Structure 1
Amino acid sequence: MSHLESQWILAEVPEIPPEVGRGMPEILVRMLLQRGVEPDQMEAFLHPRLRHLQDPFLLPEMQAAVDRILCAVDRHERICVYGDYDVDGVTSVTLMTEVLAAYGARVRSFIPRRGPEGYGLNQAALSRCMQEGAMPDLMVTVDCGTASVDEIAYLKEQGVDVIVVDHHELPPAGKPECVAVVNPKCGSDTDIDFSYLCAAGVVFKLAHALLKTRQLEHFDLKNYLDLVAMATVADIVPLVEENRLLVRHGLRLMENTHHDGVKALLEVAQVKGPLTSADVGFRIGPRINAAGRMDQPEEALATLRSKNMDEARQWATRLDVHNRERQSEEQRIHRQALECLESGGYQDDPVIVLGSRDWHPGVVGIVASRMMRRFHKPTFIIAIDEEGMGKGSGRSIGGVSLMDAINANRDCLEAGGGHAMAAGISVHEDQIDCFREGFSKYVLEHVDVKDRLPRLNLDVEIDFSELSLDFLNSYELLQPFGSANQEPMFMTREVYLTESPRELKNHHLKLSMKQKDCWQSAMFFGAGERALPPQPWDIAFTINRNVFRGRVSLQVVIQDVRAHRKED
């Protein structure tokens, strides 16, 4: 496979003011300053504490939501918790349902099926919801509902009160008319900004508000931080402010979780502590998402709500099976997409837009991500149904806004929305070529070639001699890593191999390297098919903690290599 060379961009070295970060390694202080952490915030950033959580009643319409829920509890009304089928939605449904059940509420839960019903609060899913149980007196939507103006109006006509607990953007038509819309993106009367929260984070704040209003002796909300952490990482929301605090504590709790379903997921994924956000993002989250992608979201919910370890293991095993099916389907579609790219003669296009009637709509987003990373081009992969209507998922590169491109090509599309870096479209089969051509034209006219080249942003230049377990211990205080707090990327210069690379399965390379008088082993994942440059090398790498047979070591994970350059 040919490799597209990245431009390495080393961050400027910030000047460290006197007395700042006394007692900390200098490199750690530099990385904190690079991340915009002010000197007086460093201690709170490195050691976030739960007592720093803000008052939940600072979120909009929280009081109205609390009052209506407690009223429903006291009146023994029927409550339905309706959520989305991804990790954020399933964990939100779990937490909201558990809290209401702890109050003795008459509560049931419902999650729509992605394929036949689609995302969010929609009429097809509502019809099945009403068939499966009695008409509720109160519906609490989590991770959806903010844009469901018509559906909520319909529920109101049926005599159903609605509370929306969400984090998505407001539609142009404004908020739906309902009891309360607890959504930080709906504005606030205070200066506190909670817009970074995922849905599970907002549900956690609602649960906190309920418990502040009416305490429950045998319910400890802290025991649910593992679910909140799971959702926050999987939904790729910024790991800032309270998100950072919730994830830090939630990951620690997950290692000794109170939830049988989470224990079972850790078992089937073969994840052992200490847990990181990468474990959640790449090993736990995909198993929960796989159920929704394969149209079995209720199985993910059953896993998280299990109260029996044997039952939890059975459900977690089913999620693992769904995940393997998803992986197999992903590999098949990815292989066909590569063939389609070549056979269609689209290799030289500035974008990738491919579609097929043989592709599963639940997997095209993952394939789009793989194609985007492999070719460093903005990509849409489209699954077309029997009627010729395509549902596509897009992923972009820095410098190219998918939303701007969609808005410039509305004439070719049935619908489209999302964000600059990830978006979805609905397009008829016979309009895919039109969209591809318009998308290509937009990119060529609005984005310079240099802005479409791959870039590798490097945090710190460091020598092998500076890598140690002591440094690793202080470095790990920067965790959890994720959106808005990316894992630091290091670089070092002029290293040599001490022996030939050893190729492992899946084309991974195990390397032994030397820099001056220091030796260091490293992993270079997926590099077995790549042509390596002549030595000596400069390497870009991340670090992590490796535990093997009880022995702890610092592991170097190479992200890129190039022939050595004295200066950039």
Structure 2
Amino acid sequence: MHEEPKQWIVKEDPPDATMSVGRLPSILLKLLGQRGVSGRDAIESFLNPRLKDLSDPYQLPHMEQAVERIFEAVDRGEKVLVYGDYDVDGVTSVALMRTVLEAYGVDVNIYIPKRGEEGYGLSEAAIENLLKDFGKPDLVITVDCGTASLDEIAQLGEIGVDVIVVDHHELSARGCPDCVAVVNPKLGDAFHYLCAAGVVFKLAHALLKRRRVKGFDLRDYIDMVAVATVADIVPLVEENRLLVRHGLKRLPHTENAGLQALQQVAGLSGSVTSMDVGFRIGPRINAAGRMDRPEDALSLLVEKDYDAARCLADMLDEYNRQRQTHEKQIRDEAMRMVEEQCDAKNDPVIVLGSRNWHPGVVGIVASRLMRQFYKPTFVVSIDEEGVGKGSGRSVEGVSLVGAIQACPDDLIAGGGHDMAAGLSIREEKISDFRKHFAEYVVETTSPEQRAPRMHVDAEIDFDELSLEFMDSYDLLQPFGSQNPQPVFMSRDVWLTEAPRHLKNNHLKLFLRQGICEHDAIFFGGGERSLPDPPWDVAFTIDRNTFRGRTSLQMVIQDVRAAQKI
């Protein structure tokens, strides 16, 4: 498949990139400046975040009301039900909320809706099922959902059930739900970056500040919060960065049997990075929800016995393989549809739908198509009634929320974020939506904005790449949203021998710049038609440990014929 060449955009040096701070390399100061971090105190706080710098949890909206109502339930011995979402953030939030409540002696029931049958968030079907399964609770605590569930929360209120919402999603245009408390940063002016597990962590901190529990240390659960924060792709800034940095350090030594087992199944030993969470741990937890078995992921995270946890981790691993099989089938069929139905070079958007596709993996396929073709993409799974559920992924400068709002007559419902969104649509409306979505993109962007591009953080020479440089570079971690892994470029690079083809169309490259040589991996590079050397190469760097030997590895992002400066 032909891939459009990317425009390389090299970021400018920040104003104080040449300042001196300790022994930090100048290129590291440049990378910090690009992230808005400058000045000695800010740099020290960014590179060495401390748990004691966590802010007062009572700064969050409605925290006081939530704490008072929970302790009322504790003291009265009330029945409490925790209701959560089926993704990583939702399941970890449920696990942490349940653990904290049980530490106070609360009788806790759990309800996580089935993606296929009940959909996201509170729904009439889910309320009917939970009342049937558990009877009427005194208090429902929703985590990672509930902010926009005004009607459903009113329905619970009518039968005498109190509700506390612990969430991080946007408010409905109709306002805030009428309930005991909505502990959601979006109601205030700070902490908007927190995922749901981060908000639950804050609620737990507030409870423990008011009433300690002997033998319960909230720091033991930072690893779980870190997994949720990375997997939910929320900004790794301020307290998120602090929680993830310390949580990743804790993961290799975690006391959580489920996280121990997951790391074993994922082939992790030793240090764990945000990439490991994003590509190895998170997908296995998510796979349970995608296969409509979120309760298995929850069971894993609250299991105390390692052998039982290992059985559950193996089960999640199998779900993940099933998810990968579904994904490959959909991706292959979607690629054929792009070739047969679309002008991949000129069409401004991709919108595909099929009755053969599993709804749990359309978002992953949309993401892959978006990256390959650099176009805003929706992939829709259509059920037997002709109703489609779609997931969208966007490119820089195109708001999917704006697109959804611009096409109200084509959709049943839709919402989400600028870069990732979901929608419901009738099968017969997909063609109209594709047309109107394309019109919206053309009207709101220029051809230059729609052209594939790649941002390069800094130019670096091969002789600067060393394990000593990696030691300083690692202080920038964890990488993720709003702190992306830096992309470097080097000019006038030659091959020392022919590329070695690996499985899955990956390439092993042996590169030389001047007299310095480095090996590199180019994932999917075997599908590319590479120019004749010399090259300019764009790449990220990682540590690679093989047979006890650690080296710096370049991971190629793009290659172009060398350009004169």
Aligned to 2:33: 33
Compared CA separation, residues 506 and 19, structure 1 to 2 (3 A): closer
Aligned to 2:298: 301
- Give, in whole Å, the separation in 2 of the partners of 1:15 and 1:68: 50
Aligned to 1:51: 52
Deviation (angstroms), 1:536? 0.4
Structure 1 residue runs of 5 or longer lacking an equivalent are none
1:196 aligns with 2:193: yes
In the alignment, residue 266 of structure 2 is paired with which amino acid?
A
Deviation (angstroms), 1:398? 1.1
Aligned to 1:181: 182
Compared CA separation, residues 524 and 237, structure 1 to 2 (3 A): same
Aligned to 2:140: 139
Aligned to 2:67: 66
Deviation (angstroms), 1:412? 1.2
- Give, in whole Å, the separation in 2 of the partners of 1:17 and 1:182: 40
The match for 1:363 among 337, 361, 366 is 361
- Give, in whole Å, the separation in 2 of the partners of 1:92 and 1:492: 43
- Give, in whole Å, the separation in 2 of the partners of 1:364 and 1:316: 24
The match for 1:423 among 408, 421, 436 is 421
> SS in structure 1 opposite 2:392?
strand
In the alignment, residue 464 of structure 1 is paired with which amino acid?
F
Aligned to 1:339: 336
The match for 1:507 among 497, 505, 511 is 505
Deviation (angstroms), 1:313? 0.7
1:469-492 deviation line (CA, Å, top 9, x unaligned): 111000000000000001011000
- Give, in whole Å, the separation in 1 of the partners of 2:270 and 2:145: 33
Contact 2:349-2:437 at 8 Å conserved across structures: yes
1:556 aligns with 2:557: no
- Give, in whole Å, the separation in 2 of the partners of 1:420 and 1:354: 19
In the alignment, residue 373 of structure 2 is paired with which amino acid?
F
Aligned to 1:104: 105
1:155-212 deviation line (CA, Å, top 9, x unaligned): 1111111111001111111111111111110126xxxx11110000000000000000
In the alignment, residue 131 of structure 1 is paired with which amino acid?
K
Deviation (angstroms), 1:71? 1.2
1:404-426 deviation line (CA, Å, top 9, x unaligned): 22222111111121122111111
> SS in structure 1 opposite 2:116?
coil
In the alignment, residue 387 of structure 2 is paired with which amino acid?
M
Deviation (angstroms), 1:454? 1.0
Pairing of 1:76-95 with structure 2 (within 5 A) = 76-95=77-96
In the alignment, residue 430 of structure 2 is paired with which amino acid?
I
In the alignment, residue 286 of structure 2 is paired with which amino acid?
N
TM-score, scaled to structure 1: 0.97
- Give, in whole Å, the separation in 1 of the partners of 2:206 and 2:309: 30
The match for 1:543 among 541, 544, 560 is 541
Deviation (angstroms), 1:17? 6.9
1:340-396 deviation line (CA, Å, top 9, x unaligned): 222324534221111111111111111111111111111111111111111111111
Deviation (angstroms), 1:38? 2.1
Figure out how many residues of one structure are paired with residues of the other and give that number. Answer: 563
Contact 2:531-2:561 at 8 Å conserved across structures: yes
Deviation (angstroms), 1:510? 0.8
1:468-520 deviation line (CA, Å, top 9, x unaligned): 11110000000000000010110000011000011111111111111111111
In the alignment, residue 11 of structure 2 is paired with which amino acid?
A
1:217 aligns with 2:196: no
- Give, in whole Å, the separation in 1 of the partners of 2:77 and 2:438: 58
- Give, in whole Å, the separation in 1 of the partners of 2:37 and 2:124: 46
Contact 2:16-2:38 at 8 Å conserved across structures: no
Deviation (angstroms), 1:18? 7.3
Contact 2:407-2:437 at 8 Å conserved across structures: yes
1:229-265 deviation line (CA, Å, top 9, x unaligned): 0010011110000000000000011111110000111
Aligned to 1:527: 525
The match for 1:327 among 290, 311, 324 is 324
> SS in structure 1 opposite 2:396?
coil
Compared CA separation, residues 297 and 17, structure 1 to 2 (3 A): closer
Aligned to 1:398: 396
Contact 2:510-2:520 at 8 Å conserved across structures: yes
1:159 aligns with 2:187: no
Aligned to 2:260: 263
- Give, in whole Å, the separation in 2 of the partners of 1:28 and 1:336: 44
> SS in structure 1 opposite 2:554?
strand
1:252 aligns with 2:249: yes
The match for 2:223 among 218, 221, 226 is 226
- Give, in whole Å, the separation in 2 of the partners of 1:470 and 1:517: 19
In the alignment, residue 408 of structure 1 is paired with which amino acid?
A
Deviation (angstroms), 1:112? 0.4
1:111-166 deviation line (CA, Å, top 9, x unaligned): 00000000001111111111221321111110011111111111111111111100
> SS in structure 2 opposite 1:514?
strand
- Give, in whole Å, the separation in 2 of the partners of 1:224 and 1:212: 16
1:3 aligns with 2:9: no
In the alignment, residue 33 of structure 1 is paired with which amino acid?
G
Contact 2:17-2:30 at 8 Å conserved across structures: no
Report which stretch shifted further, 412-421 or 385-394.
Answer: 412-421
In the alignment, residue 38 of structure 1 is paired with which amino acid?
S
- Give, in whole Å, the separation in 2 of the partners of 1:91 and 1:154: 27
Contact 1:346-1:352 at 8 Å conserved across structures: no
Report which stretch shifted further, 199-208 or 404-413.
Answer: 404-413
Q: Which runs of 4+ in 1 moved over 6 A?
A: none
In the alignment, residue 28 of structure 1 is paired with which amino acid?
L
Contact 1:502-1:509 at 8 Å conserved across structures: yes
In the alignment, residue 130 of structure 1 is paired with which amino acid?
L
Contact 2:18-2:29 at 8 Å conserved across structures: no
The match for 1:380 among 378, 401, 411 is 378
Deviation (angstroms), 1:445? 2.7
Contact 2:149-2:177 at 8 Å conserved across structures: yes
Aligned to 1:16: 16
